[in-house]
Amino acid sequence: MKVLVTGGLGFIGSHTVVELQNKGFEVVIIDNLSNSSIEVLDGITTITGVKPHFEKIDLREKSEVVRFFETHKDIAGVIHFAASKAVGESVKEPLMYYENNINTLVYVLQELSKLEKQNFIFSSSCTVYGQADELPITENAPVKPAESPYGNTKQIGEEIIRDTCKINSQLKSIALRYFNPIGAHPSAEIGELPIGVPQNLVPYITQTAIGIREQLSVFGGDYDTPDGTCIRDYIHVVDLAKAHVVALERLMENKNLSNYEVFNLGTGKGSSVLEAIKSFDKVSGKKLKYQIVGRREGDVTAAYADTTKANDVLGWKTKLTLDDAMASAWKWEQKIRNK
């Protein structure tokens, strides 16, 4: 079975390619390398022993999307990661985010709808919930007005897929709403590779520990949480990647209950920013330098998943811990700096 992974050299995409190849799928990657590196292809190949087919394509170029699908009519499924993903940047560059995250989704769905097999996995986000009224967050929680253009693109993306599924009974789709992916492959061949200053907590932690950043800023110490810092559901990227394979197989085996389904992907456990730092200190043997500063616009107080539906209906659950994720992220950071 041939599977297209858009954004397949990115953080979550590359780990998913590894898990797909481990299951025997033939993988084709599209990536424009705007927020990833071609060297990731070597990392994937080292882990699996198979070099995936790669095409450098910018999905905003509709003619390129058409050309690709005309030459790959035997694709049995698409996992769509390609998107811009920084909340802060999206506030400053909303039109870039709407073009990159919405137009590309439309173009891919238009071409996928011409194929015999139309199985589609969408990379969504828990940002669609905003600050949820109840914790843990179930899939039935209301979708709140987005806090950022990035969050809005995920909401609109889900609406586009749902509307398309209503009029195209051949299209089968699952939207996976991730909580906070962290960590790296245990081999340290692939991991999170932010370009410029990291937007996410864990790369900032590891870059501070190795001396690239002077200290970590913890945004807000006065939240209504046990230690005053924000609470998030940190999920190991390898567990997350495996969920994409399970979801795709669900569609391919016609186990889906409707042609549009939604699943939360998290551990079901919330950890504060300070707890995450303590976990890193423990596994690395280092004492991280950090200071608590003012709150950051757009941050919610707490978000963690109710994973019942993913566990019972999708048949997937996490196996790796926060400590596992921190240890793998630190191993990856040390490897890339020693190159």
Q: Does residue 6 surpass a pLDDT of 90? A: yes
pLDDT greater at residue 195 or residue 180: 180
> CA 213 from chain center: how many Å?
24
Range with the poorest average pLDDT among 52-66, 156-170, 193-207, 310-324: 193-207
Q: Please give the sequence-ordered ranges of beta strands (E in DSSP) within 184-236, or none if there are none.
A: 216-219, 231-232, 234-236
Tokens standing for 150? 């990035």
Residue span of the structural domain in which 74 resides: 2-181+236-265
Give yes or no: residues 219 and 151 share one domain. no
Task: Determine the Cα–Cα distance for residues 34 and 55; give it in Å rounded to an integer.
Answer: 13
CATH of the domain at 136: 3.40.50.720
Give yes or no: residues 108 and 256 share one domain. yes
CATH of the domain at 280: 3.90.25.10
Are 10 and 181 in contact by the 8 Å Cβ rule? The answer is: no
Residue 199: which pLDDT band, with cuts at 50, 70 and 90? Answer: confident
**33 — alpha (psi -120 to 50), left (phi > 0) or beta?**
left
Task: Determine the Cα–Cα distance for residues 196 and 193; give it in Å rounded to an integer.
Answer: 9
Are 177 and 139 in contact by the 8 Å Cβ rule? The answer is: yes
Q: Does residue 158 surpass a pLDDT of 90? A: yes
**pLDDT tens digit sequence for 80-105:** 999 998 888 899 999 999 999 999 99
Are 107 and 148 in contact by the 8 Å Cβ rule? The answer is: no
Give yes or no: residues 73 and 162 share one domain. yes
Give yes or no: residues 71 and 154 share one domain. yes
Q: Does residue 317 surpass a pLDDT of 90? A: yes
Would 196 be classed as within a structural domain? no
Q: Does residue 298 surpass a pLDDT of 80? A: no
Q: Does residue 269 surpass a pLDDT of 90? A: yes
Q: Does residue 305 surpass a pLDDT of 90? A: yes
Residue ending a domain, among 222, 245, 265, is 265
Alpha carbon distance, N-terminus to C-terminus of the chain = 36
Give yes or no: residues 212 and 260 share one domain. no
Residue 297: which pLDDT band, with cuts at 50, 70 and 90? Answer: confident
Helix ranges, 49-148 (H):
62-71, 87-92, 94-98, 104-112
- For 140-184, give the DSSP string: TSPPPPPSSHHHHHHHHHHHHHHHHHHH-TT-EEEEEEE-EEE--
For the segment 197-201, the average pLDDT, to the nearest whole number, is 90
- For 22-44, give the DSSP string: HTT-EEEEEE--SSS-THHHHHH
Would 139 be classed as within a structural domain? yes
Task: Determine the Cα–Cα distance for residues 113 and 115; give it in Å rounded to an integer.
Answer: 6
Give yes or no: residues 108 and 80 share one domain. yes
pLDDT at 42: 98
- For 271-312, give the DSSP string: EEHHHHHHHHHHHH-----EEEE---TT--SEE-B--HHIII
For residue 137, give the DSSP letter.
Answer: B
Would 276 be classed as within a structural domain? yes
| Strand 271-272 with 231-232, pairing | antiparallel
Would 213 be classed as within a structural domain? yes
Would 315 be classed as within a structural domain? yes
Residue ending a domain, among 222, 250, 265, is 265
**pLDDT tens digit sequence for 31-83:** 999 999 999 999 999 999 999 999 999 999 999 999 999 999 999 999 999 99
Give yes or no: residues 259 and 299 share one domain. no
pTM value? 0.97
Would 192 be classed as within a structural domain? no
Give yes or no: residues 108 and 146 share one domain. yes
Q: Does residue 257 surpass a pLDDT of 70? A: yes
**pLDDT tens digit sequence for 205-220:** 999 999 999 999 999 9
Tokens standing for 334? 């040390």
Our count of domains for the chain comes to: 2
Residue 339: which pLDDT band, with cuts at 50, 70 and 90? Answer: low
Phi, psi of 312 (to 5 degrees): -85, -40
Residue ending a domain, among 212, 246, 265, is 265
pLDDT at 130: 86
Q: Which of 161, 148, 23, 164 is nearest to 84 (CA)?
A: 148
Give yes or no: residues 177 and 280 share one domain. no
Would 291 be classed as within a structural domain? yes
Mean pLDDT of the chain: 96
- Hey, which residues are catalytic here? 150
**243-268 CB burial, b ≥16 within 10 A, e <16:** bbbbbbbbbbeeebeebbbbbbbbbb
Give yes or no: residues 140 and 216 share one domain. no
Give yes or no: residues 14 and 29 share one domain. yes
Would 191 be classed as within a structural domain? no
**pLDDT tens digit sequence for 166-183:** 999 999 999 999 999 999
Give yes or no: residues 221 and 242 share one domain. no
